[in-house]
Structure 1
Amino acid sequence: MGAFAAGMSEASVERRLWSLFEPLHAVTYFAPEGGAAFEAAGLRGYWRRYFAGRAAPLGAIGSGPVIATFFGFAPGMVTRALPDVWTRITPQAALDARREGTRAALEPLLDGIPIDEVADLLEAAAHAVDLPGRPLGAANADLPWPTDALDRLWHAATILREHRGDGHVAALLTAGVDGCESLVLRCGRDAVREVMQPARGWTDDEWDAAAGRLRERGWLAADGSATILGEEASVEVEAVTDRLAGRPWRQLGAESTERCATLLEPIANRLLPLLPMHNPIPLRSQGQGAR
């Protein structure tokens, strides 16, 4: 495989598929065409377009639902963007911009790769997601399905990744971990504080307080690295996340799921170089190495 998730040496079926469809969605955030499409729609600033594009399926909401569903972002960072962003762009215009920017990025990158069959398979998986308790997955699933194969492929990947993300939030809450603590613990395992903290808007005081709470639980060592207990807790959170993401692939069936993975692999390998070496998504190409 050309992709791997940080911290997981042997991937489950669910995590393997995620590592292959996530790059399709991530293009939205990292490809320059995405930013250009939002600027053409009148919205400037990376984080404005991030919050507008990702929250748009929920409608013109305020900061509260985004703090809840995006989970890892500092509330102060969210409130600086919402609801102000809706005075600059409508949710429908944001949906249009993210689609146009994504298409502009994906078309040349996937040139020469057949996508009709994999679009059908990924769409079938996306139609099988369970929606109760999955606000972001459900909001994207409620959008009209496109007819073009490339648009269907991206839309299916987006539903599946937000569905998985909703489950990950549930797993973290069940483990008694809040948004900042989840990032501090990740940085104790396989991520970089200098990237994660500013990308999610936490202050030094908030970050250090979260680290203190994790040390009290015995999950974090004095040097900031995860302890054995912290590693075990993290592995359990990921295992629960995988289990909660399993229904689409059970419904698709083992043979079709394997076929979907096979078809997604060359796509993921084309797209992974767009992701910076250190990024908030725990995914990178093998050629980038691991910490």
Structure 2
Amino acid sequence: MTIHSRAKVHRMFELVEPIATVTFSDVPNEAFLAIGMRNYWDGYFAGRAAPLGMVPAEVVHAVFYNFADGEVARHIPWVWGKTTPAEAIAVRERGSALALRQLIGELADSAELAQVADLATRAGLSAPTEGRVLYAGLQALDVPEEPVAKLWHAATPLREHRGDGHNAALVANGIGGTEAHVLMALAAGMPAEKFGRIHHLPKAQLDGVVDGLRRRGLVDAAGGFTDTGRATKSRIESLTDELAAPPYDVLTPDELDQLIAGLEPIAAAVEAADH
């Protein structure tokens, strides 16, 4: 049983997410283009899948969970003809650390950031790996010494540990990857066809996903949540928070409070620079 409250575990998600996801920003993208990637998504799949090794598209599709059929195969294994997993890991780390440094300004060289990076690393490397495929791949990587790179590196397994648990929660509740995006769209008050991660899908395909949710009583005739759908989404999010707790069990309550307090200005600086 975790020693920390669900609210603090969820707060860590809110703080880790903007730091980890600088890896999907312009600076790392340009670094991947410079080694021969054709577009953003080549770099995305090369960098994020690299800790899994040179596995086929079917494995990446299963681990990432929420991409529509065929989307991964447009990039894997093509990217491995241009780079290797080891090079992709290095390119991703360098580009992400540089992006994070640019976004947080003078915080990058503060003693507080170095302390936060150490605490985040302790948490990020501490959780059991069973059933956490992407997390296990990240946990096996070398930890950089430079504090900004170390902080980004620690945020990434924390993010993907939660992501592996979120996928398990979706499976347990019978929600597929594309269906999960529809539920995210509805939770944001947006029709599925307007949601960024699925708006590009053919209308017939997306309509079929929504129809499947409607037949199961999760979506109403107007395309919004039913009470059952809303309860299902809430149950998934609650279980995701519960499953995300293990990395933080290595920290005392005071240490987790210190980590949260230290991450708050860093995450705020990233978010402010991103808008």
TM-score (norm 1): 0.86
Pick closer, same or farther for the CA change 1:202–1:20 going to 2, 3 Å.
Answer: same
Counterpart-to-counterpart distance in 2, 1:275 and 1:261: 21
Residue in structure 2 matched with residue 187 of structure 1 by the alignment: 185
Match of residue 282 from structure 1: none
Q: Decide whether aligned partners of structure 1 residues 142 and 43 sit closer, same or farther in structure 2, where only a CA change above 3 A counts.
A: same
Alpha-carbon distance, 1:22 to partner:
1.1
- Which residue of the partner structure matches residue 19 of structure 2? 24
1: CA distance between counterparts of 2:134 and 2:197?
Answer: 23
**Which amino acid counterpart does residue 47 of structure 1 have in structure 2?**
W
Residue 87 of structure 1 corresponds to which residue in structure 2?
81
Q: Deviations over 1:242-270 (max 9, x none)?
A: 11111122221211111101000001111
Q: Write the deviation string for residues 98-140 of structure 1: whole angstroms up to 9, x where unpaired.
A: 1121122122222222211100110111122221000001100
Asked if 1 retains the 8 angstrom alpha-carbon contact of 2:132 and 2:161, the reply is yes
| Aligned equivalents of 1:103, 1:13: Cα separation in 2 | 26
In structure 1, the gaps of 5 or more residues are 1-10, 277-291
Q: Which amino acid aligns with 2:89?
A: L
Shift of 1:197: 4.2
Distance 2:137 2:81 in 1: 21
Shift of 1:275: 5.2
Cα separation, partners in 2 of 1:156 and 1:231, compared to 1, 3 Å: same
2:252 partner amino acid: G
Correspondence list, 1:111-190, <5 A: 111-113=105-107, 114=110, 115-190=113-188
Tell me, yes or no, if the aligned pair for 2:66 and 2:177 is still in contact at 8 Å: yes
Which residue in 1 is equivalent to 2:3? none
Question: Is 2:93 the counterpart of 1:99?
Answer: yes
Residues 225 and 125 (structure 1), Cα distance of their counterparts in 2 relative to 1, 3 Å cut: same
Q: How many residues align?
A: 264
Contact 2:35 / 2:82 at 8 angstroms: preserved in 1?
A: no
The 1:75/1:106 distance shift into structure 2, 3 A limit, reads same
Query: Cα RMSD over matched residues?
Result: 1.6
Asked if residue 196 in structure 1 is aligned to residue 191 in structure 2, the reply is no
Q: 1:140 to 1:273 in 2, by over 3 A?
A: same
Q: Amino acid of the residue matched to residue 112 of structure 1?
A: E
1:209 aligns with 208
Report the Cα distance in structure 1 between the residues aligned to 2:170 and 2:97, rounded to whole angstroms.
33
Identity of aligned residues (%): 37
Q: CA deviation at 1:63?
A: 0.5
> CA 1:143/1:23 → structure 2, altered by over 3 Å: closer, same or farther?
same
